[in-house]
């Protein structure tokens, strides 16, 4: 971003992959980062905001943008273990996890998807956001899931 903006590039920059807004701002600076679009699992809905506040209070720092996904994944694993009634019977745990539907997570309602692409439903379908960096802060532009994105108003 910094190298492109330096000589005068004014076009859109899109960063795909995992969240990286803090790193982009740190390396490129606020001015060169202005307007960059990127993926973020963290939005401004009440469940996510409350989770971020609890995290900040407990750990005295802002959470990493991957934290909600890891938290929800761990909860799905623990729910599978509980439903299977075993920690050691990995086949029973896997079957219980595969059967989970409409799991309430900090990322929203979680379900399995991916069969059309991968042959098996092994991908968690969780909401995420397309955000834009504006004045050094991420601004949610669209709420998405595995199958669609919709602009935020």
How far is the C-alpha of 92 from the C-alpha of 113, rounded, in Å? 20
Tell whether the model's pLDDT for residue 153 goes beyond 70.
no
Q: What confidence score (pLDDT) does residue 44 get?
A: 82
Tell whether the model's pLDDT for residue 98 goes beyond 90.
yes
pTM of the model: 0.81
Q: How far is CA 112 from CA 34, 63, 92, 101, 123, in A?
A: 35, 25, 17, 7, 6
All residues at 6 or more sequence positions from 151 whose CB lies less than 8 Å from its CB, including other chains: 141, 142
Backbone angle region of 108, left / alpha / beta, with phi > 0 → left and psi within -120 to 50 → alpha: left
Q: Tokens representing 103? A: 């799991």
Q: What confidence score (pLDDT) does residue 34 get?
A: 95
Tell whether the model's pLDDT for residue 57 goes beyond 80.
yes
Task: Name the pLDDT band for 102 (thresholds 50, 70, 90).
Answer: very high
Q: What mean pLDDT comes out for the span 51-73?
A: 94
Q: What confidence score (pLDDT) does residue 112 get?
A: 92
Task: Name the pLDDT band for 117 (thresholds 50, 70, 90).
Answer: confident
Q: What confidence score (pLDDT) does residue 91 get?
A: 97
């Amino acid at each position: 971003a910094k190298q492109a903006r330096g000589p005068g590039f004014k076009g859109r920059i899109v960063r795909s992959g995992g969240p990286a807004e803090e790193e982009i701002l740190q390396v490129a600076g606020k001015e060169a980062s202005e307007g960059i679009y990127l993926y973020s699992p963290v939005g401004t809905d009440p469940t996510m905001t409350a989770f971020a506040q609890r995290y900040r209070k407990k750990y005295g720092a802002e959470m990493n943008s991957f934290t909600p996904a890891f938290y929800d994944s761990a909860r799905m694993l623990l729910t599978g273990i509980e439903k299977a009634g075993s920690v050691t019977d990995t086949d029973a745990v896997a079957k219980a996890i595969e059967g989970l539907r409409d799991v309430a997570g900090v990322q929203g309602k979680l379900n399995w998807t991916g069969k059309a692409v991968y042959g098996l439903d092994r991908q968690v379908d969780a909401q995420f956001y397309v955000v834009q960096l504006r004045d050094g802060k991420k601004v949610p532009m669209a709420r998405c899931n595995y199958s669609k994105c919709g602009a935020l108003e």
